[in-house]
Chains A and B, each alone.
Chain A
Amino acid sequence: MAEELEFIDLSVVSGQKPLLSKARGALRSGELVAVVGRSGSGKTLLTKAIMGLLPEQLRAEGQILLDGQRLDRLDDKAMDQVRGRRVSMLFQQPKRVMNPRMTIRAHLLEALGAHGWGKARQHEGQVLSLLEEVGLSPAKPIAGKRPDQLSGGMAQRAMLAIALAADPEFILADEPTSSLDSILKAEVLQLLRRKQQERGVGVLFITHDIASIQHIADRVVVVSDGQIVDQCPTAQIFSRDRHAKTRELVEATLPAVRAPRPENSECLLQAVGASKNYTRRAKGPAALEPTSLSLHAGQVLGVVGRSGSGKSTFARLLAGLEQPTSGQIISNHGDVPTRVQIIAQEPYSSFDPRLDVRTSMSAAVHRMPEDQAVERMARAMAQVGLPGELLDRRPGQCSGGQLQRLAIARALLTDPQVLICDESTSALDSVAQRHILDLLLELRDTIGLSLVVISHDMDVIRYVSDDVAVFYEGELVEHRPLNDFLANAEHQHSKDLIAALDITAAASSAGGHPGA
């Protein structure tokens, strides 16, 4: 059993530009170390460099030692004896790294090193026990499935089983939970911590979200701009005198303290028994069952649910992008139609990659006289806190957070009363996410914008919402003011969501981690 995976002065260079410089650290067996940093900080490169899996145009320098053996000197063939056997990996998108034509059983057999006829039957017991170990039961039918037949949470569990198959000494986990919803995230984190402790594996856990690992990690390493800027035991990460970058990451996870909005304002948008069925047949499950809900001026409505729960369909109906199959959306007060705008999830796809941002933004003001359009654009940029010169860039030259701000600025050009944010922050790292949410709240306060914030992430919902609406399998199952919701939610799914907020407590009690 190996004791230590160490890297000394590890740099990753692209041409002359260092993307990761002189990183130094060690992972010991039986500990879980979180590497935390924002998107683009170089944290993923660290794992790729250790595994010798850097893209061709990048070059690693420095030493990587597995129990004193220089991994960086091994050739590809020798590394194959390390990769997946002594050190294995977990990825953010398990379905993308698995072979879509291979069953879970085949993946596990491959990881177990069981090739050839007859080996399958011989190792069947091992396959099934691995699956049960990661909570996939009944194991037998699941083993016969292909990756695309599994849900996101199941696929992540299956990948953990594959990673554990060869009984590795170390696991490098690259954001394995960031694409999961709050409940699944909590489950997978607990599972990973439990397995790590049972088997005494050393885990390097890459994430941008300090909150998710605060009670499962033993140590935290903070990476910023390609450098390790801070490291300490997890318990000390919240103390005030840490590095500025650490503070930034920590503050992005703290809950907000703000007064709830009184609900006496006028009603801007109202769904009355609105439903949506995409299939032509009247039978079959509807994307959205009849839903009634109203949104008032200055209100922040948080809409939460898993993917496929109908929350995005509801958003598109509210925004008028689609017409309800039955019922209606009343989008006016008096005779004036309510101006509704929607901000999409993926920042890079909401701007034309070939156009500079100014041209894309001018879609909203091109009917106005030139000078007026220029002035409005300048004002919108100021409102979202971006410098004007960003307008001359192309989307590919902006960060995800900047683009999401630009999308908000473009929406502001139309002078909206309601802004619907459909998972608008889920593609961003936790710091950028928090900045966007703060911006939205600020716009609510300064120009009286009403917000519908749709998210699978309960932390986001808790941070911004006055009221919470929970969607589950196409149905609105709960709708209450935030505090009432947190205290008195009745539906089982709501309770699960609230419990997931305290992943932390649950994971630590399950893991019995002393520092927590």
Chain B
Amino acid sequence: MARSATSRILLSAPAFILVAIVVVTIAAPWISPYDPDAQSLADRLQGPSALHLLGTDALGRDTLSRVLHGGQFSLSVALITTLFSLLVGTALGLISALRGGWLDEIFLRINDLLLALPEIVIALLIIAVMGPGFFTMVLSVGVVAWTPTARLVRSMAAQALSTHHVEASKHVGASRWFILRHHVLPFVAGPVLAQAALRFGLLLVLLGSLSYLGIGVQPPQSDWGSMLSDAQPHAIRSPWGLIAPGAAIFLVSFCVTLLGNRITHVLGGEDVLDTETKAESHG
């Protein structure tokens, strides 16, 4: 018997790296060597040393401590936005597929419209109106981030609903909830999770860009994006201020992308196995 799909996804290198990163950022208050906000102008813009493993920034703050603390903010905002878009997207996609008709048409057009506009432009617009901050940041990205999920859910659900076995279930009296729970959600879940993992990486980068532009997180709070913009003027003299947060963003989005691919692969692989057993019993 092959290992279960869940264990094949979780027992993989990208999953381990991600878990390690999450644990380290959560534990930041205890494990970081310095207070991330403690300034020491005497030690400014240093390279890596035994005292400061990743050097210091323009105000003499320890880069390692700042990356660890900044990760808390970057990762949690990206996670909240991803979960938000997953929930909203799944709900709207399901309603659209189940109801069909004019509602579906209107939904699709709105979806097209939002997909056509670059996410960052909409986010800029909303922040310009509402002012920067944690809540605005989640909202500004969340407003459009659900559209790809909704699209995917809608088309997968519509496909599931058009099968013969759903017609058969309906005809023997299955409720809408029964069909949703047993025939549609299990069918939709895998691809949507895979997509969510990929989306998480994209949103992490998008949110980082907002902070980099100075309209995301506001000082004294900082995240990886704002660390990049702080470090940029001193890039030549002290590149470590750029490399550390940049590498963190890269590593996380790279790992979630690998994880997303792995989910797709594992679920796809399982389907292939199913058809094989079927063919065998056919003779």
Residues of A within 8 A of B (CB): 39-42, 44, 319, 321, 341-342, 344, 346, 348-355, 359-360, 362-364, 366-367, 394-400, 407, 410-411, 413-414
Contact = CB atoms under 8 A, between A and B. Distances in A.
Given A407-B168, A410-B168, A367 B173 contact: yes
Contacts of B182: 352, 355, 359-360, 363
Interface residues of B, number: 25
Nearest to A411: B172
Contacts of A411: 172
B163 interface: yes
A349 B278 CA distance: 11
Given A350-B165, A354-B186, A363 B281 contact: no
Contact of A366 (B165, B178, B183): B178
Nearest to A396: B278
Given A346-B164, A354-B187, A359-B182, A364 B172 contact: yes
Nearest to A395: B278
A349 B183 CA distance: 13
A413 B173 CA distance: 10
B229 to A, nearest CB: 48
Given A351-B165, A352-B182, A352-B183, A44 B173 contact: no
Given A321-B167, A342-B171, A364-B174, 16 more contacts: A39-B282, A40-B282, A40-B283, A341-B172, A350-B165, A351-B168, A352-B165, A352-B169, A354-B186, A362-B178, A363-B174, A363-B182, A364-B172, A367-B175, A396-B278, A410-B172
B47 to A, nearest CB: 56
B7 interface: no
A84 to B, nearest CB: 25
Nearest to B283: A40
A431 to B, nearest CB: 13
Contacts of A350: 164-165, 168
Nearest to A340: B171
Q: Give the 8 A-B residue pairs with the shortest CB-CB distance, closest first.
A: A40-B283, A363-B174, A364-B172, A396-B278, A363-B169, A349-B164, A352-B165, A396-B277
Decide if the interface of chain B is mainly helix, strand, loop or mixed.
Answer: helix
A344 B168 contact: yes
A8 B162 CA distance: 50
A396 B272 CA distance: 12
A366 B175 contact: yes
A366 B281 contact: no
Contacts of A407: 168
Interface in B21-79: none
A394 B277 CA distance: 10
A254 B172 CA distance: 34
Given A355-B182, A363-B169, A344 B164 contact: yes
Interface of B: 163-169, 171-175, 178-179, 182-183, 186-187, 274-275, 277-278, 281-283
6 contacts: A350-B168, A355-B183, A362-B178, A396-B278, A400-B282, A410-B168
A414 B172 contact: yes
A351 B166 CA distance: 8
A351 B174 CA distance: 13
Given A349-B163, A360-B165, A396 B172 contact: no
B36 to A, nearest CB: 48
A355 B282 CA distance: 19
B172 A397 contact: no
A349 B187 CA distance: 15
A278 B175 CA distance: 28
A44 B282 CA distance: 12
B178 A353 contact: no
B173 A364 contact: yes
Contact of B277 (A354, A355, A397): A397
A42 B171 CA distance: 37
Given A346-B164, A353-B274, A360-B165, A341 B171 contact: yes
B179 to A, nearest CB: 8
A312 B19 CA distance: 56
A397 B168 CA distance: 19
Nearest to B179: A363
Contacts of B187: 354
Given A39-B283, A40-B283, A354-B187, A366 B174 contact: yes
Given A39-B283, A366-B174, A414-B173, A353 B278 contact: yes
Contacts of A341: 171-172
Contacts of B164: 344, 346, 349-350
Nearest to A342: B171
A366 B178 CA distance: 8
Contacts of A362: 178
A413 B172 contact: yes
* Interface hub of B172, B178, B277 (most chain A Cβ within 10 A): B172
A38 to B, nearest CB: 8
A413 B171 CA distance: 12
Contacts of B278: 348, 353, 395-396
A48 to B, nearest CB: 12
A41 B165 contact: no
A349 B281 contact: no
